[in-house]
Amino acid sequence: MSQAPETRGGPVVTPMRVVIALCLVAPFVALLWVGSYARTEPVVIGIPFFYWYQMLWVLVSTVLTMVAYRLWQRDQRARSASKGGASK
Give the whole-number percent of the chain exceeding pLDDT 90. 60
- Map out the domains of the chain as residue ranges: 36-79
Q: What is the pLDDT of residues 10-31, one digit of tens each?
A: 678 889 999 999 999 999 999 9
The predicted structure's pLDDT at residue 6 = 54
Radius of gyration of the chain (CA): 21
CA–CA gap between residue 43 and residue 35 (Å, rounded): 17
- Per-residue confidence (pLDDT) for residue 86, from 0 to 100: 58
Exposed, middle or buried, 55 (CB in 10 Å: 0-12/13-18/19+)?
A: exposed
